[in-house]
Amino acid sequence: MNILEALLLLCLLIVISAFVSCSELALASARKIKLQVMAKDGGDTRALDVLNMQQQPGSFITVVQIGLNAVAILAGIVGEAAVRPYFDGLLANAGSWGSTVASLLTFMLVTGSFILIADLMPKRVAMTHPEAVAVRIVRPMMFLIFILKPLILIFDGLANAIFKLFKISTVRQEQLTSEDIYAVVDAGAQAGVLKEQEHYLIENIFDMQERKVTSTMSTREYIVYFDKNDNSDTVLEMMSDKPHNKFLVCDGDLERVIGYIESHTLLTLFLKEKDVRLTDKRVLRKVLFIPDTLSLYDVLETFKTSGEDFAVVVNEYALVVGVVTLKDVMSIVMGELVNTEEEPQIIRRTEDTWLVDGATPLADVMRALDIEEFPDSENYETIAGFMMYSLRKIPKRTDFLVYAGYKFEIIDTENLKVDQLLVSKQENVVGKM
């Protein structure tokens, strides 16, 4: 074999190796979602072939390894048999070390060519455009799998037997988790594909599944209700002092709710009739009761099913713990994208200090302070709950603790309730309490 034939054969081996290397990376890194879109919207059946191959990758991995190893061995043989004699001739007058230099030059030429042209460049192309490359090479790869089926059965069978012996699954799992979606959304926001408002909305929608109704309801102490026997003057005076859209009607106390009234309906009747009883069927509406264990997503589904937009929240002892409206739930989704008359629960005073309402949900505190998690967070839902759980007592003013590089100090209490905290960033503090 002369040097020209050897170079042509080496070029052919480089092309084969490049195809195999490119196929390996493209088929392994092609994204399932994009392939599904290509198959469904673009009608490209090759994308389905790629998906099927990814589900059972044993055959194409075996072909890749057979191809790469066979080509590498053959390239070494060709280089040693045909290229080295050429360098030997050029270094014939170099003395005893000429043969060593010839072997070294042959190795560098063959290996360098394969690294650059057959490995590095194809894999970079496949990494940059994995789906486009995968759909183009999947059919030739399927043909190679068919041709090399006997060898594949042998090697793949041996590999499967070993995996089975050690109870290792070889089926590729493509279960998309919420963490995966968060990562995709964050990447989209950083790349400018998603606007800041869109990113904010998507994160809040996922929060609805995690957050309980108690994190956004109006708690028991803020509930304004009427007794069913209250007269018109009492009702009008209370509605004037504490204007709300809806009021509960009870039979004596808050544990015996008989329904609720809407302000505009009641006031309209008051204009027509001077004496309207709160138990009048024209104004009294049946109230919706929901447990305090529901997530905000469950509450939204309950509102949708019942056609209501107002509910009373009760605990496991059938005690009323709060009320929630559709507006309360949607405020979690819209958050700071909508203007509200209520004072925000987290106010940034300086670069390193925040005033935080004790009833602020943990999720909002984590987002504002960039804290990944709170310890044993399944035991409480608000920052006040975190303080009470961590201090192991009823908190009082000046009580504080340090966690995740922040100092949480109670600056105001009301009866036994933590009303407000001052959070300040601490320098050189390890994230421990």
Give the pLDDT score at 379.
86
Q: Residues with Cβ < 8 Å from 166, sequence gap 6 or more?
A: none
Is the model's pLDDT at 338 over the cut of 60? no
Contact present, 407 and 424 (Cβ < 8 Å) = yes
Q: For residues 8-18, give the mean pLDDT.
A: 88
Tell me which residue of 311, 320, 192, 197 sits closest to 252, measured CA to CA: 320
Q: Give per-residue pLDDT as tens, 383-414.
A: 999 999 999 998 999 999 999 999 999 999 98
Q: What are phi and psi of 167, to 5 degrees?
A: 55, 50
Confidence of residue 353 (pLDDT cuts 50, 70, 90): very high
Is the model's pLDDT at 336 over the cut of 70? no
Confidence of residue 38 (pLDDT cuts 50, 70, 90): confident
Contact present, 295 and 211 (Cβ < 8 Å) = yes
Is the model's pLDDT at 109 over the cut of 60? yes
Give the pLDDT score at 223.
92
Confidence of residue 335 (pLDDT cuts 50, 70, 90): low
Contact present, 21 and 119 (Cβ < 8 Å) = yes
Give the pLDDT score at 42.
77
Higher pLDDT, 84 or 226: 226
β-strand pairing of 288-291 with 310-314: parallel
Q: What are phi and psi of 360, to 5 degrees?
A: -65, 130
Is the model's pLDDT at 242 over the cut of 80? yes
Q: What is the mean pLDDT of the chain?
A: 84
Whole-angstrom Cα distance, residue 300 to residue 308? 10
Give the pLDDT score at 216.
86
* CA-CA-CA-CA torsion sign (76, 80, 86, 91): positive
- 3-class SS letters over 88-156: HHHCHHHCCCHHHHHHHHHHHHHHHHHHHHHHHHHHHHHHHCHHHHHHHHHHHHHHHHHHCHHHHHHHH
Is the model's pLDDT at 430 over the cut of 50? no
Q: Give per-residue pLDDT as tens, 265-283.
A: 888 888 888 778 888 888 9
- 3-class SS letters over the chain: CCHHHHHHHHHHHHHHHHHHHHHHHHHHHCCHHHHHHHHHCCCCHHHHHHHHHHHCCHHHHHHHHHHHHHHHHHHHHHHHHHHHHHHHHHCHHHCCCHHHHHHHHHHHHHHHHHHHHHHHHHHHHHHHCHHHHHHHHHHHHHHHHHHCHHHHHHHHHHHHHHHHHCCCCCCCCCCCCHHHHHHHHHHHHHHCCCCHHHHHHHHHHHHHHHCEHHHCCEEHHHCCEEECCCCHHHHHHHHHHCCCCEEEEECCCCCCEEEEEEHHHHHHHHHHCCCCCCCCCCCCECCEEEECCCEHHHHHHHHHHHCCCEEEEECCCCCEEEEEEHHHHHHHHHHHHCCCCCCCCEEEEECCEEEEECCCEHHHHHHHHCCCCCCCHHHCCEHHHHHHHHHCCCCCCCCEEEECCEEEEEEEEECCEEEEEEEEECCCCCCCC
Residue % of the chain over a pLDDT of 90: 24
Confidence of residue 83 (pLDDT cuts 50, 70, 90): confident
The count of other CB atoms within 10 Å of the CB of residue 150 is 8
Q: For residues 176-181, give the mean pLDDT.
A: 66
Whole-angstrom Cα distance, residue 304 to residue 5? 76
Tally the residues of the chain. Answer: 433
Q: For residues 37-46, give the mean pLDDT.
A: 85
Confidence of residue 227 (pLDDT cuts 50, 70, 90): very high
Give the pLDDT score at 432.
47
Point out the least confidently predicted range of 260-264, 272-276, 415-419.
Answer: 272-276
Whole-angstrom Cα distance, residue 372 to residue 292? 25
Q: For residues 64-68, give the mean pLDDT.
A: 86
Q: Give per-residue pLDDT as tens, 271-330.
A: 888 778 888 888 999 999 999 999 988 999 999 999 999 999 999 988 999 999 998 888
Higher pLDDT, 339 or 244: 244
Q: For residues 375-383, give the mean pLDDT.
A: 87
Contact present, 409 and 371 (Cβ < 8 Å) = no
Whole-angstrom Cα distance, residue 238 to residue 224? 9
